[in-house]
């Protein structure tokens, strides 16, 4: 049932796709973490317009498919004259989409830090921004890490969307191998193993972190 | 109180189930092209025709199920306005239905792409593939082909005024757009190994990507490219053909009687002069005689 | 941007037709994945030997793979080993498998969230493990599962769009066709598609919040 020659003959091709998938995931994670944290802070600031922006972004993006976000970059932008290559479109789409989920995770983390902490920091003379950055966020990080890890796993899985817009990721190369060799079953099994190589360690790390944090509480 | 909660939950599941079942009942309609007024009975239109009596199975079912392209102008294109599918391949399919069942409306069209067509044929979802499919040695291992029914060749589509005018102009860094699972992608990788080949799921997405400026050239069979150029006059076919792509009609492996029937029909089409008319209708010129 | 062409009734109608397919496929997958997810989650919670480990293995496997790969696999790879589905069935099967894995985790942690003391009390008052599950744990656990379940259903509805790769005539597929006819309709068409997804999903999340408040 398993045709191992697929793996040995096309190892380089798999590896190229694996590298691109990992690269796109890391870039999108960094982007979505920055944007997501910003949005989370927006949502809990006392400034109303910022709250609206944060809430609107999160509610809107969370309720539309990733594919649609990616198409906005891939088809929408060129229709008004801005052309980015498929890899960039896919990675940007992933970052914009995942940011909405990260914003929620970070917000929950911040809200879990007792209010007294913020009040104490403010009354000892720190500005809102400084109190957030130096007192609240560092405590929130601990709570945020397991859900963030989960989002990263989702991000890696979702990065397969690049294959739809020819983004040279693992899935794209798996398609190419399958249509070159006509061996579909084994080709996708091996592609799946490459994905597991990325996601399983993170999955276990999340479980481990959750158990550890639970013990400390 | 708890009683009511369970009731509400049960009701929700029931409603969802009904919606789901209704959905399953309707799906056949969505899949079929406008050419056939598919009967409201959902049924499993499993067209699997195992063994030698594929032809008999179709006759007793009273309906020929053909996999065609929905996104390929001149061969098989679905018009969202009317829901009808039209093209050269569609006319061939209609002719076959008429020959086989006496009525060209006894035809159900299902959408296939270059990637889905062989699995669908194997699954028994369709009896035949008439979908701009090139006869190749590799494919012959998987399906049985009829005689050639259309002679195409691979060519290039570019935006008017493009510096690329032939395959020789494709240099390192040129982005060439193609369709996943098509022979043209493999050919271009051989003939222009320096090019970056972008691949999409179907011709429509590929052409949209060309319009979006994702690549400079789109390559596939000239017949399909002419259709795209006729759709958008900003694009033109350049450089002549650099491969031979003989199209065949495919049946599931082992369906010899069906293939023989298709070949008889194709011969009749040629002899009666119908073929030339069909060719002119869609391609706009008479086929070259050898 | 060509709003006028994009929002011609034929185009809007065509996209609505696609959205109907999206909703139908999603509804079927929601029902099936909920049932399978509940069974798998309960098996793991009750620690039924062999079955529990098997469920754990499958859930971990599926949860760590991209849905796109599972859709491809269902449609293109399974026929190689003799398992054959059509396009609509492939979409439903792949979505069901993927989302059931997620739902089983929600069910499992929902059941685990019920304090052990209650289970022990119920067991020592003579209820069987199954009765404990049915009368004590499940009713309370279900309440806590509602929000994550609904958000999983929303994910499922969004994920239906991935079936474009097997040419399922759902909303994104039809949106692509409209865009292909006139490229300048890209943004308006995508906005309309986003609006349709948003309305249904947002309504679902509001309903979930209301239900949560009512149950609390």
* CA neighbor of A177 nearest in space, from A33, A8, A1: A8
d(CA C170, CA C161): 7
Contact (CB<8Å) A164/B201: yes
B111: helix, strand or coil: strand
Residues contacting residue B105 through CB under 8 Å, at least 6 positions apart: B35, B36, B37, B97
Strand pairing report for B85-86 and B107-111: unpaired
Instruction: For the domain covering A4-216, report its CATH number.
Output: 1.10.3720.10
d(CA B67, CA B32): 10
Task: Please tell me the least confidently modeled range out of B72-81, B84-93, C154-163.
Answer: B72-81
d(CA A148, CA A206): 9
Residues contacting residue C76 through CB under 8 Å, at least 6 positions apart: A178, A184, A188, B115, B116, B119
* CA neighbor of B119 nearest in space, from B139, B91, B137: B139
In this prediction, residue C116 has a pLDDT band, given cuts at 50, 70 and 90, of: confident
pTM for this model (two decimals): 0.83
Contact (CB<8Å) A180/B198: no
Residues of B in contact with A166 (CB under 8 A): 177, 198-200, 209, 214
Contact (CB<8Å) C31/B13: yes
What are B144-181's pLDDT values in tens digits?
Answer: 999 999 999 999 999 999 999 999 999 888 999 999 88
Nearest to C154 among A63, A68, A192 (CB): A63
d(CA B151, CA B222): 10
Give me the domains of chain B, ranges plus CATH numbers: 54-152+246-283 (3.40.190.10), 154-238 (3.40.190.10)
Average pLDDT over residues A115-139: 87
User: How many angstroms separate the CA of residue C88 from the nearest CA in chain B?
Assistant: 7
User: How many angstroms separate the CA of residue C80 from the nearest CA in chain B?
Assistant: 9
Task: Please tell me the least confidently modeled range out of B45-49, C41-45, C130-134, C138-142.
Answer: B45-49
Report whether A15 contacts A169 (CB < 8 A): no
Residues contacting residue B221 through CB under 8 Å, at least 6 positions apart: B132, B134, B152, B153, B154, B155, B184, B245
In this prediction, residue A3 has a pLDDT band, given cuts at 50, 70 and 90, of: confident
Contact (CB<8Å) C86/B71: no
Report whether A37 contacts A102 (CB < 8 A): yes
Report whether A169 contacts A17 (CB < 8 A): yes
Average pLDDT over residues A45-62: 94
Query: How is residue C187 written in tokens?
Result: 């943004």
Contact (CB<8Å) A75/C158: no
Residues of B in contact with C180 (CB under 8 A): 71, 204-205, 207-208
Contact (CB<8Å) A75/C190: yes
* pLDDT surpassing 70 at residue B42: no
Contact (CB<8Å) B200/A166: yes
Q: What angle do CA C15, C19, C24 make, to 5 degrees?
A: 150
pLDDT of residue C216: 62
Query: How is residue C100 written in tokens?
Result: 């059931």
* Element holding B206 (H helix, E strand): helix B203-211
Beta bridge partners of B198: B177
Question: Which residue is associated with the tokens 């449609």?
Answer: C75
* Element holding B64 (H helix, E strand): strand B64-68
Chain B, nearest residue to C22 by Cα: B23
Would an 8 Å CB–CB cutoff place C73 in contact with chain B?
no
In this prediction, residue B19 has a pLDDT band, given cuts at 50, 70 and 90, of: very low
State how far the alpha carbon of B173 is from the alpha carbons of A68, B194, B217, C174, in Å. Answer: 29, 7, 12, 33
Contact (CB<8Å) C197/A64: yes
Residues of A in contact with B185 (CB under 8 A): 179
Distance of CA C99 to the CA centre of its chain: 5
pLDDT of residue B2: 44
* CA neighbor of C166 nearest in space, from B80, B105, B120, B229: B120
User: How many angstroms separate the CA of residue B139 from the nearest CA in chain C?
Assistant: 15
More confident site: B221 or B115? B221
**DSSP string of chain A?**
---HHHHHHTHHHHHHHHHHHHHHHHHHHHHHHHHHHHHHHHHHSS-HHHHHHHHHHHHHHHTS-HHHHHHIIIIIHHHTT----HHHHHHHHHHHHHHHHHHHHHHHHHHTS-HHHHHHHHHTT--HHHIIIIIIHHHHHHHHHHHHHHHHHHHHHHGGGGGGGT---HHHHHHHHHHHH---HHHHHHHHHHHHHHHHHHHHHHHHHHHHHHHH-
Query: In B154-244, where do the E strands start and end?
Result: 154-159, 175-179, 196-200, 217-221, 235-238
What are C19-65's pLDDT values in tens digits?
Answer: 999 999 999 999 999 999 999 999 999 888 899 999 999 999 999 99
Nearest to C161 among A1, A67, A174 (CB): A67
What subunits make at least 3 CB pairs under 8 angstroms with B?
A: A, C
User: How many angstroms separate the CA of residue B23 from the nearest CA in chain C?
Assistant: 5
Most confident range, picked from A95-99, B50-54, B190-194, B203-207:
A95-99
* pLDDT surpassing 60 at residue B38: no
pLDDT of residue B73: 85
Chain A, nearest residue to C102 by Cα: A154
**For chain A, which residues make up each domain, given as ranges?**
4-216
Chain C, nearest residue to A73 by Cα: C187
d(CA A140, CA C34): 33
* pLDDT surpassing 70 at residue C86: yes
From first CA to last CA, the distance across chain A in angstroms is: 49
Contact (CB<8Å) C64/A153: yes
More confident site: A132 or A65? A65
Contact (CB<8Å) A179/B181: yes
Would an 8 Å CB–CB cutoff place B133 in contact with chain A?
no
Average predicted confidence (pLDDT) for chain A: 91
Contact (CB<8Å) C64/A163: no
Nearest to B80 among C14, C86, C183 (CB): C14
Query: How is residue B30 written in tokens?
Result: 């969505």
Residues of A in contact with B211 (CB under 8 A): 78
Residues of B in contact with A187 (CB under 8 A): none
State how far the alpha carbon of B205 is from the alpha carbons of A85, B86, B202, C142, in Å. Answer: 15, 19, 6, 44
Average pLDDT over residues B209-229: 91
Among A20, A69, A79, the residue to mutate for chain C (most C Cβ within 10 A): A79
Whether the ipTM is more than 0.85: the answer is yes
pLDDT of residue B155: 94
Among C180, C186, C207, C208, the residue to mutate for chain B (most B Cβ within 10 A): C180
Contact (CB<8Å) B13/C34: yes
Report whether B111 contacts B70 (CB < 8 A): yes
pLDDT of residue A217: 52
Q: What angle do CA B13, B19, B21 make, to 5 degrees?
A: 100
Residues of C in contact with B115 (CB under 8 A): 76
Report whether A190 contacts A7 (CB < 8 A): yes
In our burial notation (b when 16+ CB lie closer than 10 A, e otherwise), range A3-26 reads eeebbeebeebbebbbebbbebbe
Among C6, C22, C31, the residue to mutate for chain B (most B Cβ within 10 A): C31
User: How many angstroms separate the CA of residue B212 from the nearest CA in chain A?
Assistant: 5
Report whether B223 contacts B75 (CB < 8 A): yes
How many C-beta neighbours within 10 Å does residue C117 have? 8
Contact (CB<8Å) B212/A176: no
What are A151-189's pLDDT values in tens digits?
Answer: 999 999 999 999 999 999 999 999 999 888 888 899 999
* pLDDT surpassing 60 at residue B11: no
Task: Please tell me the least confidently modeled range out of A170-184, A200-214, B95-109, C143-157.
Answer: A200-214
Residues of C in contact with A163 (CB under 8 A): 68, 165
Rounded (10°) CA dihedral B200, B201, B202, B204: -60
* pLDDT surpassing 70 at residue B35: no
* CA neighbor of C94 nearest in space, from C79, C77, C72, C76: C72
Chain C, nearest residue to B119 by Cα: C76
Contact (CB<8Å) C202/A171: no
């Amino acid at each position: 049932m398993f045709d191992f020659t697929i793996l040995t003959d096309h190892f380089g091709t798999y590896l190229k796709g694996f590298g691109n998938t990992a690269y796109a995931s890391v870039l999108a994670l960094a982007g979505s973490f920055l944007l997501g944290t910003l949005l989370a802070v927006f949502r809990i600031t006392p400034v109303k317009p910022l709250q609206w922006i944060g809430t609107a972004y999160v509610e809107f993006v969370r309720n539309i498919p990733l594919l649609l976000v990616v198409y906005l970059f891939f088809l929408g932008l060129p229709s008004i004259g801005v052309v980015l290559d498929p890899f960039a479109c896919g990675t940007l789409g992933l970052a914009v989409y995942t940011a909405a989920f990260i914003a929620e995770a970070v917000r929950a983390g911040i809200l879990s830090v007792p209010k007294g902490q913020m009040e104490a920091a403010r009354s000892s003379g720190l500005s809102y921004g400084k109190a957030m950055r130096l007192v609240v966020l560092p405590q929130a990080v601990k709570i945020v890490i397991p859900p963030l890890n989960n989002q990263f796993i989702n991000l890696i899985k979702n990065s397969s969307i690049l294959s739809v817009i020819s983004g040279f990721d693992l899935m794209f190369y798996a398609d190419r191998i399958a249509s070159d060799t006509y061996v579909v079953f084994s080709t996708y099994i091996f592609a799946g193993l490459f994905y597991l190589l990325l996601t399983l360690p993170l999955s276990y790390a999340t479980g481990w972190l959750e158990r550890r944090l639970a013990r400390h509480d | 109180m708890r009683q009511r909660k369970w009731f509400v939950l049960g009701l929700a599941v029931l409603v969802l189930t009904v919606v789901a079942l209704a959905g399953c009942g309707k799906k056949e309609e969505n899949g079929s092209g406008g050419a056939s007024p598919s009967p409201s009975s959902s049924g499993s239109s499993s067209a699997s025709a195992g063994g030698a009596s594929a032809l008999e199975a179709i006759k007793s079912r009273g309906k020929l199920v053909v996999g065609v392209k929905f996104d390929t102008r001149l061969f098989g294109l679905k018009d969202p306005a009317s829901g009808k599918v039209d093209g050269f391949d569609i006319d061939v399919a209609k002719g076959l239905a008429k020959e086989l069942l006496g009525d060209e409306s006894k035809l159900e069209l299902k959408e296939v792409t270059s990637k889905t067509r062989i699995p669908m044929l194997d699954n028994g979802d369709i009896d035949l593939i008439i979908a701009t499919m090139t006869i190749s040695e590799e494919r012959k291992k998987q399906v049985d082909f009829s005689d050639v029914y259309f002679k195409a060749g691979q060519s290039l589509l570019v935006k008017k005024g493009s510096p690329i005018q032939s395959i020789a102009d494709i240099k390192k860094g040129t982005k060439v757009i193609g369709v996943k699972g098509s022979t043209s992608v493999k050919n271009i990788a051989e003939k222009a190994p320096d090019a970056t080949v972008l691949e999409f799921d179907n011709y429509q997405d590929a052409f949209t990507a060309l319009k979006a400026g994702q690549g400079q050239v789109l390559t596939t069979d000239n017949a399909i490219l002419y259709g795209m150029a006729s759709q958008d006059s900003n694009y033109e076919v350049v450089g002549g053909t650099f491969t031979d792509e003989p199209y065949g009609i495919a049946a599931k492996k082992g369906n010899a009687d069906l293939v023989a029937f298709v070949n008889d029909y194709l011969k009749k089409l040629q002899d009666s002069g119908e073929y030339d008319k069909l060719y002119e209708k869609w391609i706009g010129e008479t086929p070259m005689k050898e | 941007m060509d709003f006028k062409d994009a929002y011609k009734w034929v185009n809007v109608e065509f996209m609505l037709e696609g959205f109907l397919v999206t909703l139908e496929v999603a509804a079927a997958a929601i029902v099936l994945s909920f049932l399978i997810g509940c069974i798998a989650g309960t098996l793991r919670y009750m620690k039924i030997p062999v079955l529990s480990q098997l469920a754990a293995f499958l859930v971990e496997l599926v949860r760590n793979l991209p849905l796109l790969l599972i859709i491809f696999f269902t449609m293109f790879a399974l026929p190689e080993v003799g398992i054959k589905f059509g396009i609509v069935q492939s979409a439903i099967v792949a979505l069901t498998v993927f989302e059931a894995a997620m739902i089983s985790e929600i069910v499992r942690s929902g059941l685990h969230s019920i304090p052990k003391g209650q289970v022990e009390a119920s067991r020592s008052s003579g209820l069987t493990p199954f009765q404990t599950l049915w009368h004590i744990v499940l009713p309370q656990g279900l309440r806590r599962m509602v929000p994550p379940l609904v958000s999983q259903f929303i994910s499922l509805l969004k994920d239906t769009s991935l079936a474009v790769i097997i040419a399922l005539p759902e909303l994104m597929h039809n949106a692509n066709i409209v865009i292909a006819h006139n490229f300048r309709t890209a943004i308006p068409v995508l906005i309309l598609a986003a609006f349709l997804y948003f309305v249904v999903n947002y309504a679902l999340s509001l309903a979930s919040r209301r239900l949560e408040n009512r149950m609390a």
